[in-house]
Structure 1
Amino acid sequence: MPPPQHGGRPLTPPPHGREATLLPPDEAGHRGSPDSTAFMCPHCEAVLSNPAAAQCDNCLRPLRQQAPVLRVVFPSGELKISVGQHLVLGRDAGQSPVASTFTQYDNVSRRHSTVWLDPSGTAWVRDEGSTNGTFVNGERLPRGVEAPLRDGDQLRLAADVTGTVQLA
C-alpha cells in the first residue's frame, strides 16, 4: 500500500525534539526548505518568537553579546581597539597609526607601547622598550612585559600622558 499523500506529496510525521526547532513546519504541516531555519536560543535551544529580542522568553538569558571593545581615553584623543587588533602607541607615524595623538609629547617614544584585546575580551599592554616608561595604575612595566588592563585602569606613557581604560 503506498504512503498517504496530501497535495501530491507524501505525508510525513511532524518533527519532534531538537529537529522541530531546526526546521519549522510550514502551514500545511510539512517541513520548510533547508534555508528556512528557525532562530534558536543558544542557551536553552528554544525557538525564538522574536529573533531581534534582547533576551530569550524561555530562559531569560541575553541573546546577543556585543563584541568587547577597548577604549583608552587620553587628553589628546580617544583610541578604540577591537578584538584581535594590536595598536602601537607612539609618535612615529610609520609605526603607530595613532601617532597624531602623541606628537605633542616629546617624552613619548616613537614606538612606546602596544595595546590589544585578545579573543577572550582581556585587554593587554606591553612596553616596547620606551625611554620614559609605560605605567599601569602608577606601576612601571618592565620592557617587553605584558600586563592585563581592566576597566578604569590608568595607562600612563612617560611622565604626563595618562589615559583611562574603558572596556565595554
Structure 2
Amino acid sequence: MHPHGREQTLLPPDGQGGGRRPDSTGLMCPYCEAVVSNPNASQCDSCLRPLPGQGAPTLRVLFPTGELKLASGQSLVLGRDAGQSPVAATFTPYDNVSRRHSTVWLDQQGTAWVRDEGSTNGTFVNGERLPPRVDAPLRDGDQLRLAADVAGTVSLG
C-alpha cells in the first residue's frame, strides 16, 4: 500500500501528496521523482531519462493563413499540391507558390532547416533568396517567405 515504489508511474500521480509540491518553479522527474532544477532540461540529471515535454524542441511557422508546427524529427513540404503537401490549403490562395515549393524540418538536435525545392519564385529567409536544393538553417524570429506574397515568422521553442 505504499504509493512511492511504483515503477510504472509515468506521470506524477494526481491528487497524491495533497498540495505539497516541493517548489512551484521546480519540476519533478516522472520516472525517479527527483527534482529537476533546470526547467528547460531535456533529461533528468539523476536517472538520465528524457523528460517528456521538457526541452522537446518544436518548430512553428506562423503564416497569415495558418500556423505550421513540427516536432523534432519531422519534416513538411510547403506548397499548393495537396498530394505532396499536407498543408496545401495554407498556400492555395497564392498562385506564385509552387506546387512543391520548399521543405522545412526540425532535426533530432533541435535545429530547424528549410530547403527550396527548385520553386519558380524562390524561398527567402530574412529577405535573402535561398539557392535551390540547399539546406539553410532557421533561427527563432526569422522571416520565411515563399515567393513574393507568403511570409511567415519562425518560432523555435
Fold shared by both chains (TM-score > 0.5): yes
2:64 to 68, 72, 75: 75
The equivalent of 2:94 in structure 1 is 105
Matches of 2:5 and 2:35, distance apart in 1: 26
1:54 to 21, 27, 37: 27
Determine if the alignment matches structure 1 residue 142 to structure 2 residue 119.
no
| Cα drift, residue 132 of structure 1 | 0.1
Gaps of 5+ in 1: 1-25, 27-31, 38-48
Determine if the alignment matches structure 1 residue 96 to structure 2 residue 109.
no
Check the 8 A contact 2:113/2:136 in 1, yes or no: yes
CA RMSD of superposed structures (Å): 2.9
The equivalent of 1:132 in structure 2 is 121
The equivalent of 2:108 in structure 1 is 119
Q: How many residues align?
A: 127
Matches of 2:67 and 2:8, distance apart in 1: 43
Check the 8 A contact 2:60/2:67 in 1, yes or no: yes
The equivalent of 1:159 in structure 2 is 148
Check the 8 A contact 2:61/2:67 in 1, yes or no: yes
Higher RCO (CA < 8 A, seq sep 6+):
2
Q: Which amino acid is the alignment partner of residue 72 of structure 1? A: V
1:36 to 1:142, Cα distance in 2 relative to 1, 3 A: closer
Q: Secondary structure at the match of 2:68?
A: strand
1:118 to 1:36, Cα distance in 2 relative to 1, 3 A: closer
Q: Which amino acid is the alignment partner of residue 65 of structure 2? A: S
Gaps of 5+ in 2: 10-20, 42-50
Check the 8 A contact 1:55/1:61 in 2, yes or no: no
1:55 to 1:61, Cα distance in 2 relative to 1, 3 A: farther
Check the 8 A contact 1:150/1:167 in 2, yes or no: yes
Check the 8 A contact 2:27/2:37 in 1, yes or no: no
Query: TM-score w.r.t. structure 1 length?
Result: 0.66
The equivalent of 1:46 in structure 2 is none
Structure 1 runs of 4+ with >6 Å offset: 55-59
